[in-house]
Every structure is written in structure tokens, then in C-alpha cells.
Amino acid sequence: MSLVNGPFGDYTRGWQSGVVPVRHYAPSSGDQPRSLVILTSGANTNETCFIDLPAHLMALGHKVSVKIFPGYEAGDPNHNPTKLRCDPTEQLNCWLSNMPRATINLMMETPEDRAIFLGGFSMGGAEALLTLAQLPPQLQARVKGLILVAPSLRMTKLEKYSKPVNWLLRNVYLPLNSWADRLQSSSGYSLDPTIQAHTHCLSPRPFRAQFAAARFCETAERVLGETPNDIRNTLPVLLVHSGKTDKTVHHSSTALVKAAFAKVDEMEVAWDHWLLGHTNRAQVQGRIGAFLAVHTLAN
């Protein structure tokens, strides 16, 4: 099995604050890629959250570019060069201004006759939706599909059944712990144990980063409705999510996505949020590969 190379791999955009690291997976130089797939990794992790999905899609002939939120290049906070314990508003503004720009740059570098797909895992799915809404019309027209894997438009922490509890968590608990510069202990993450060592996850997690992430997801939800109706009515969307963790369905991100787009191909799995690292992840990889095959040919 081919795995990505650690947290300090061949980042092409560097790791300085405000510069979006991008990891490329391209077919051999003699082959023209069938499409460009731009994926965004999730909060508290980097490109390793996709495990071997980029290598799998590359083997199918697609070029894959994985964007990482500045600050999440390394899974170990002691070796984190952009210091996520910075001001959460500065971190949020950094993400909002630079992540869409990185996608625009990648799209502008791609031949006009090549299909382009956007997607992401967890908060990366929210980033893909936010970027789609903010693309210039000529670039929106070049996007042939969305791949959303366990997208987080609302953090699980803020999806309790009780609205007063949600309000307290969002307006008291997160800001107060962020202001106090506290660290949130991690309960770990569920992965195939044979690959867990290859996946880097920020732990413990600075509350400042968690607060910035919650606000980023909220921004993505707000701009979701700004995507033009013709795009929302015609753009194919592959939505892969976990039925195990979507407990508050009426508030869940999956419900928001299905309400926003008319052509949603849904795949629900029985395992938890880290579904790309599950023992049965080949099922998800196969579904994503089939989605790309169909809509690349339709281009």
C-alpha cells in the first residue's frame, strides 16, 4: 500500500503563515491527467487524513492536489511552524483569504479542456463549498463536480439537541477557553490500526484553533446560499458521510448540503467520522473513483 510521506513532505507552497501548502500527486510525466481533483484536508490534520486516496485516484489517471489549512502542516503542535495558538480571528482571516486563492491559482494553471473537481474531508468539505461560492463565474463553470467526505458545516460540538446548550458552547465555552489559551485534550481518532501511525492529528488541540475552525464552518454555511442557482441545480455532488455520527439530522451538515444542491449522490457508511481511514475505506475510494469516471467522461 502506498502511503503519503509524513507531515513534512514536498509542500510546494511552503509553510509560512498565510501561504497554503499544496501536495501534488500526478500520473507519470508521459500521461496527460484525466482531470484535476483539488481536495482540502480537515481541521487538526494535514494531507495524511486522506491516507491512500490521492494515490488511488492518481493510479486511475487523475491529478490530485491536496490543500492544507495554514497551521496544520504538522500533526505535532510542538513542531507546528505557524503556531495555532495565535489569535483565532487572525487565523480565521488567514484561512478565508488564502484558501480560495490557492484553488484559483491551481485552476488557472490547468488547461481549459481538463475537468476540475473540488472536494474535501470534514472542515475541508466546508472549504470546498465556500470556495465554490466565491469563484469567479468563468471558474465556477469549470467545476464538474463536488466530492464531500464527512463535510462539517457545523461542528459536532455545536449540534446538541438543546439549543441553549449549543448557544452556551458557541458563545461562552469556546470563546472563554480560547481567550484563556487552553488546550483541548483529544480522545484519539478511529482508524485502521495498521495505518494510524501514518496519519497526523493535532493533539492536544488549542482552543484558539477550535474557535477559528467553528467560525470558518459557520462562514461556509452562510455563503452556501450565494452559489448561483444554475450551479446548485446542475452540479453533481458526491456526499459520503457517516450515519454513526450524524445524530442530529435536522442540524447536520449532510442535510444542509442536500437542501442546497439538486443532484446529490449520497453514500452513507456505518463507521465514524474518520471514514477515509477505516479498514473498509476501499468502498469509499471505489465510489469516488466511479464518480470521477462518469463526470470526467461527461465533460
pLDDT digits (tens, 9 = 90+) for 261-280: 999 999 988 887 888 888 88
Query: What's the pLDDT score for residue 13?
Result: 39
Mean pLDDT for the stretch of residues 276-286: 90
Separation CA 80–CA 202 (nearest Å): 9
Q: Is residue 224 part of a domain?
A: yes
Is residue 15 in some structural domain? no
Q: What is the mean pLDDT of residues 217-241?
A: 92
Enclosing domain of residue 252? 22-297
Determine the average pLDDT of the residues in 210-221.
Answer: 90
Determine the number of helices (DSSP H) and then strands (DSSP E) in the chain.
10, 9
Arithmetic mean of pLDDT, 43-53: 89
- C-alpha 198/C-alpha 201 separation (Å) is 10
Q: pLDDT above 90 covers what percent of the chain?
A: 42
Residue-level pLDDT at 188: 59
pLDDT of residue 162 exceeding 80, the answer is no
Residue 40 falls inside a structural domain: yes
pLDDT the model gives residue 10: 37
Residue 6: inside a domain, yes or no?
Answer: no
Q: Is the pLDDT of residue 92 over 80?
A: yes
C-alpha cell at 281: 475505506
Domain membership of residue 7 (yes or no) is no
Classify the C-alpha dihedral 248-250-252-255 as positive or negative. Answer: positive
Q: What is the mean pLDDT of residues 33-50?
A: 91
Strands, E assignment, 60-187: 63-67, 115-121, 143-149, 183-184
pLDDT exceeds cutoff 90 at 36:
yes
Q: Give the tens place of pLDDT for each residue, 198-212.
A: 777 776 778 888 888
Average pLDDT (165-169) is 84
Question: Is 26 part of a structural domain of the chain?
Answer: yes
134-138 mean pLDDT: 94
Mean pLDDT of 108-137: 95
Q: pLDDT higher for 1 or 134?
A: 134
Statement: residue 177 has pLDDT above 80 = yes
Average pLDDT over residues 244-248: 54
Average pLDDT, the chain: 82
CATH number of the domain enclosing 46: 3.40.50.1820
pLDDT at 89: 87
pLDDT of residue 74: 64
Residue 217 has pLDDT above 80, yes or no: yes
- Residue 131 is assigned to a structural domain of this protein: yes
Mean pLDDT calculated for residue range 79-98:
73
127 pLDDT higher than 90 = yes
In a domain, 14, yes or no: no
* pLDDT for residue 164: 85
Q: How many CB atoms lie within 10 A of CB 75?
A: 19
Q: What pLDDT score does 2 carry?
A: 28
Residue 82 has pLDDT above 50, yes or no: no
Q: Give the integer Cα–Cα distance in Å for 191 and 110.
A: 34
Q: Which of 8-12, 109-113, 234-238 has the lowest mean pLDDT?
A: 8-12
Domain count, the chain: 1
